[in-house]
Amino acid sequence: MKVVLIGVAGGSGSGKTWLAHELERRLWPHAAILSLDDFYADVSYLSMAERSALNFDAPGAIDWSLLQRSLEGIVRGEAVWLPKYDFATHTRQSRRRRWRPRPVVLLEGLWPWRRPQLRRMYTLKVFRTGTEEIRLARRLARDVAQRERSEASVQQQWRRQVQPMYARYVRPQLRSADITVPAEAPEWRLARLTRKIATVAGLALDKSDAASFTPPSQRG
């Protein structure tokens, strides 16, 4: 199987995860998603207070060796075992998931191609842009609703960690991106990006599949 790796990067709240899921839907059943978040290093040896104080918006929080080994196996078409991260406890879950090989692999996250040795593996690098106001509003809505955070703590983390790390580590990837997608992406742009990925992967898409099927990553 020919496997192409597509990176989807962007700041927190930029909509990169939504974009990856939308591309997966449109490319189904030829595509599947990997989340860089699942490759956060396991810090279960620390106390909960120590874990909460860590800067998870810096690239050093990622287990890059595990990510590279996993990607190398996936690009070879292997069914590798992948980690699953628990944001409530800041630890890696004992349960792993088995990767089912797909021709198109969508890796979404803050820094998917920051490291040069990984950058060479991507067929396309897509960067999702968005204003700070939009990104902060989305981050607030997500963390308060899904991660049981207070609005004040989210705002404080944004000022101290999220936005400074975005400027230092995330935004520089824009220079090496092949394609940019704005926060408000019109249908024609999404359709064109889907066709571009299908072309580089050598796929013939059946529109009825994408219209009628919900990929596993989007099921409730």
Report the C-alpha gap between 100 and 17 in whole angstroms. 20
112 assigned to some structural domain: yes
220 assigned to some structural domain: no
Residue 21 binned pLDDT confidence (cut-offs 50, 70, 90): very high
139 assigned to some structural domain: yes
Instruction: Give the mean model confidence (pLDDT) for residues 170-175.
Output: 96
The number of folded domains in the chain is 1
Instruction: Give the mean model confidence (pLDDT) for residues 87-97.
Output: 89
216 assigned to some structural domain: no
- 83: containing domain: 4-210
pLDDT of the residue at 148 = 74
| pLDDT tens-digit series, residues 126-165 | 999 989 999 999 989 988 888 778 899 899 999 999 999 9
Q: Looking up tokens 């935004």, which residue turns up?
A: 171
219 assigned to some structural domain: no
Residue 183 binned pLDDT confidence (cut-offs 50, 70, 90): confident
| CA dihedral over 42, 47, 48, 49, signed as positive or negative | negative
The answer to whether residue 214 scores a pLDDT higher than 80 is: no
218 assigned to some structural domain: no
- Parallel, antiparallel or unpaired: strands 4-10 and 104-109: parallel
Report the C-alpha gap between 97 and 154 in whole angstroms. 30
CATH number at residue 105: 3.40.50.300
